[in-house]
Amino acid sequence: MMTAARSIPAYAWAEAQAELPCSRPSRRAASASNRSNALIAMVCIPVLWGMHSVESHAADAAFQWDYPQSGASGFALYCGTTSTRSYSTRIDVGNVLSFALPLSEEPVHFCAVRAYDAAREESTFSNEVAVSLDKDTGAAALLPPINVSAQGSVTPTATGFRAKFSLPFDSRQLNLFGSQDGREGAADVTLVGATSGAVAGSLVLDADNQGFTFLKTGGVLAPDTYTLTIASRYDSFVDLFGRPLDGNGDGRSGDDYLFGDDYRLVFVVGPSNSPVLSIGEFARGPGQAVNLPASDSTAGIPVRISNGSSVRDVDFTLGYDPTLLSVLDVGLANASGTLTRKSIDEVAGLIHVHVANVTGLTDASTVLLRLQAQVPADAPYRSRHMLDLRDLKFNDGALTGRTDDGLQVVAYLGDTDADGKYSSFDALLIQRVSLRLDSGFSAFPLIDPIVLSDTNGNGRLESSDVLTMQLKVLRRAVPELPDF
Ligand SMILES: [Ca+2]
Ligand SMILES: [Ca+2]
Ligand SMILES: [Ca+2]
Ligand SMILES: [Ca+2]
């Protein structure tokens, strides 16, 4: 049904489909009940009700829309300077399908249309289009919502995936986990294996809030077919104007009547015997030494190799955030070999290690190196960063390997309410997750609760982890939870 007006340059077309009243029945129910049946029926045919915006000349925007149903007596164009659906301007444009509107100097305008019938009952809004005005030239252009599929990208890794968005997002409502009161809402990102089920992991956001890394907890992804979903919702990834993700990258938010506008990617991880270099996930607070587990004061941060029986030579770089972790030294552990290179750049946060003449590795997970490290006293509480293994070469590049990146959260292990102290409330929160009453901790909505409170490091939250915290609160000696 799209037809361009003759005066409109064709290159400037963009299309956006209706926000669908039928897809959100609970929100719409109250107002819909006041409308004529004819109009309700019309707006419930979603795929045919769309609005387009086109650039025309400086500070003017021509809007066009489709309305192929019968029964509309006219249309009202609504515009405002925020994407809230409460618009400051309403113009009754009559029974036409386009309108050219001179725009004020506000940097962004958000507009939508409603149809009305003979009784002046209005339909729900169409989709919304955003028009930005260049502050120097005054020229109008469409401002598409954020996406990962058109100008962004999603890339699977050995231990999860990376997502890069087209524009910065607002991170305030993001969560993978939540408490029973449900205020965090459903998980905004999920990774589900067809046979292995939901993958437990954590999100580390990029410093520019334009991307993130999903890190599986405990090792690389098992062979399976995975479905990755990034939710398009108002409490998920929204742009700086509050508009949800354009999951399918077609320039519209929330456009799929049946399935919403979530981003989805299905990818397959095949069986592999290639060696894996791993560094784990942990929580330690400001000023604490990092020994994993804390009960072994020489443990440091172990760097492990699995499937390593053919490995003779290892070369890699570890990237980390030196404001959150001080690495003091690197030493060989269980495997034997020659540490021919060890450089620690504490300013850039880069460690380069080369181990030659390696013997003693098997296919079981074996500790190759230990990093002696501590958390700086001024590291911001609750901050986190990825321990990024890169430039990996096994046997001088002759053997393909995989990297299993790690995660550090700046928090005392088990301080699940993030108040910087141990109390019985921390134990209660661990218990609630162990009983599956909560899926995680409200203070850490993007971090797998295992990372924050698995005191005995067995990969599960259970009654023994609760007991450990209870004993610590009673000031008993608990080597798993170091003092601070
Ligand atoms: Ca959320
Ligand atoms: Ca879309
Ligand atoms: Ca606490
Ligand atoms: Ca445990």
What would the mean pLDDT of 443-462 be, rounded to a whole number?
94
Q: Give 145 Cα–ligand 2 centroid separation in angstroms.
A: 9
Q: Give 404 Cα–ligand 2 centroid separation in angstroms.
A: 33
pTM: 0.83
CB 222 within 8 A of CB 193: yes
Grade residue 273 by pLDDT with cuts at 50, 70 and 90: very high
Q: Give 296 Cα–ligand 4 centroid separation in angstroms.
A: 17
- Ion ligand 4: residues, CB within 5 A, are 454, 456, 458, 460, 465
Grade residue 326 by pLDDT with cuts at 50, 70 and 90: very high
Q: Give 337 Cα–ligand 4 centroid separation in angstroms.
A: 33
Q: How far is CA 397 from the centre of its chain?
A: 33
- Amino acid identity of residue 224, one-letter, is D
Q: Give 96 Cα–ligand 3 centroid separation in angstroms.
A: 61
Read off the pLDDT of residues 46-73 as tens digits, 9 standing for 90 and up: 222 445 544 444 467 778 888 877 788 9
Could you tell me which of 237, 211, 231 has the C-alpha nearest to residue 157? 211
Read off the pLDDT of residues 216-246 as tens digits, 9 standing for 90 and up: 999 999 999 999 999 999 899 999 988 899 9
CB 401 within 8 A of CB 315: no
Q: Is the pLDDT of residue 305 over 50?
A: yes
Q: How far is CA 32 from CA 40, 41, 77, 370, in A?
A: 7, 10, 19, 64
Count of residues for the chain? 484
Q: Give 305 Cα–ligand 2 centroid separation in angstroms.
A: 42
Alpha-carbon span 461 to 392, nearest angstrom? 33
CB 367 within 8 A of CB 175: no
Q: Is the pLDDT of residue 127 over 80?
A: no
Helical axes 424-434 vs 463-473, angle rounded to 10°: 180
Q: How confident is the model at residue 206, as a pLDDT?
A: 97
Grade residue 82 by pLDDT with cuts at 50, 70 and 90: confident
Domain boundaries, the chain: 10-142, 153-269, 276-410, 424-473
For domain 153-269, the question of CATH label 2.60.40.1220 is answered with yes
Alpha-carbon span 243 to 144, nearest angstrom? 10
Q: Is the pLDDT of residue 263 over 80?
A: yes
Alpha-carbon span 21 to 28, nearest angstrom? 7
Alpha-carbon span 413 to 453, nearest angstrom? 6
**Which of the following CATH numbers is that of domain 10-142: 1.10.10.10, 2.102.10.10, 2.60.40.10, 3.40.50.300?**
2.60.40.10
Strand partners, 189: 230
Strand partners, 338: 356
Q: How confident is the model at residue 135, as a pLDDT?
A: 72
Q: How confident is the model at residue 28, as a pLDDT?
A: 31
- Give, in degrees to the nearest 5, the angle at Cα 232 between 231 and 235: 90
Could you tell me which of 4, 96, 85 has the C-alpha nearest to residue 253? 85
Q: Give 191 Cα–ligand 2 centroid separation in angstroms.
A: 20
Q: Is the pLDDT of residue 468 over 90?
A: yes
What would the mean pLDDT of 365-369 be, rounded to a whole number?
94
Residues 6 or more apart whose CB falls under 8 angstroms from that of 217 comprise 200, 201, 202, 281, 448, 450, 451, 459
- Ligand number nearest CA of 169 is 1
- Round the average pLDDT of the chain to a whole number and report it: 85
- Ligand number nearest CA of 146 is 2
Q: What is the 3-state secondary structure (H, E, C) of 346-404?
A: CCCCEEEEEEEEEECCCCCCEEEEEEEEECCCCCCCCCEEEEEEEEEEEHHHCECCEEE
- Ligand number nearest CA of 218 is 4
Q: Give 434 Cα–ligand 4 centroid separation in angstroms.
A: 9
Q: Give 141 Cα–ligand 1 centroid separation in angstroms.
A: 30
**Which of the following CATH numbers is that of domain 276-410: 3.40.50.10480, 2.60.40.680, 3.40.1390.20, 3.40.640.10?**
2.60.40.680
Instruction: Specify the pairing of strand 50-55 against strand 314-319.
Output: unpaired
Helix, strand, coil percentages, rounded to 5, for the chain: 10, 35, 50
Instruction: Specify the pairing of strand 402-404 against strand 276-279.
Output: parallel
- Ligand number nearest CA of 147 is 2
Give the phi and the psi of residue 424 in degrees, each rounded to 5.
-65, -20
